[in-house]
Amino acid sequence: MIRVLVQPAAIDVTAEFDLHDAGGHGASASFIGRVRGDDGLTELFLEHHPAMTEAGLAALAHAAADRWKLSALTLIHRVGAMAPGDTIVLVLASSAHRAEALAACEFLIDRLKTDVMLWKRESFADGRVAWVEEREGDQRRAERWG
Amino acid sequence: MLEIAYFSWVRERMGVAGETVEVPADVADVAALLAWLSARDERGALAFAEPHRIRAAIDGAMMGPDAPLSGAREVALFPPVTGG
């Protein structure tokens, strides 16, 4: 089962774990990315492409399912305005054994950062607003997967 | 006619989320489109002054600067993505 969502609503992590786990899996790996309140950040805004962001996530999910033997995969990205502590992204990957679940989970979050049409804008308490710059380390991590 | 969609600070500098344009016949690839938009007006010059900072997607697929525009329906222009 592959579940891919792009949504402005808060990600209900507990409900998504339950849905993903229905039926049970030998091994499940998860990644949760949250908004950090560093440097007085008050809002993180995620801009997206109305069609292509979800298509990009779906393409990555199918690439993972082709590469590893997975029994379930959940990939959810929130868009719009978020506050510190909010969940930005949830990745759940399950397989019969740990190696495939862990690898698929890491692949998905690494490649998502460089391949999917999403842009972060930060607003701070002092009024500063800035678009987040790409990180060289993210590019290197993504390229490891070929 | 070509649909162009702008995102992030490219959208802000262009002042619009997108536009439909008639590009000259000699504008054949992404790099040429960036040069044409940059030369067209002040906002284009501001948005595309540093073409190496611009990424492109043609009909949803990420493409390099030498990707041809022929057959494209929508070209999206944006800075490097920063999701996750």
Tell me how far apart the alpha carbons of residues A26 and A70 are, in angstroms, rounded to a whole number. Answer: 10
Q: Which chain A residues are Cβ-neighbours of B81 within 8 angstroms? A: 113-119, 134
Neighbouring-strand partners of residue A43 = A123
Contacts (Cβ under 8 Å, ≥6 apart) of B36: B23, B24, B27
Say whether A54 sits in a helix, a strand or coil. helix
Cβ distance A49 to B9 less than 8 Å, yes or no, reads no
Domains of chain A: 2-143 (3.90.1170.40)
Tell me which of A86, A118, A123 to substitute to probe the interface with B (most B C-beta atoms closer than 10 Å): A118
Cβ distance A118 to B81 less than 8 Å, yes or no, reads yes
Among residues A123, A20, A139, A134, the alpha carbon closest in space to that of A76 is found at A20
Position A146 scores a pLDDT of 85
Interval B18-70: pLDDT, tens: 999 999 999 999 999 999 999 999 999 999 999 999 999 999 899 999 999 99
Tell me how far apart the alpha carbons of residues A60 and A116 are, in angstroms, rounded to a whole number. Answer: 9
Q: What is the mean pLDDT of each run of 10 residues along chain A (146 residues)?
A: 97 97 92 96 97 96 98 98 98 97 98 96 97 93 91
pTM of the model: 0.94
Going by their DSSP bridges, the two strands A72-78 and A87-95 should be labelled as antiparallel
Domains of chain B: 2-78 (3.10.20.30)
Position A54 scores a pLDDT of 96
Nearest chain B Cα to A130, which residue?
B9
Position A24 scores a pLDDT of 86
Q: Which chain B residues are Cβ-neighbours of A114 within 8 angstroms? A: 80-81
Q: What is the ipTM of this complex?
A: 0.94
The pair of structure tokens assigned to B30 is 């992404």
Position A122 scores a pLDDT of 98
Position A92 scores a pLDDT of 98
Q: Long-range pairs for A17-22 at CB < 8 Å and ≥24 separation?
A: A17/A92, A19/A74, A20/A72, A20/A74, A20/A92, A20/A94, A21/A94
How does DSSP classify residue A39? G
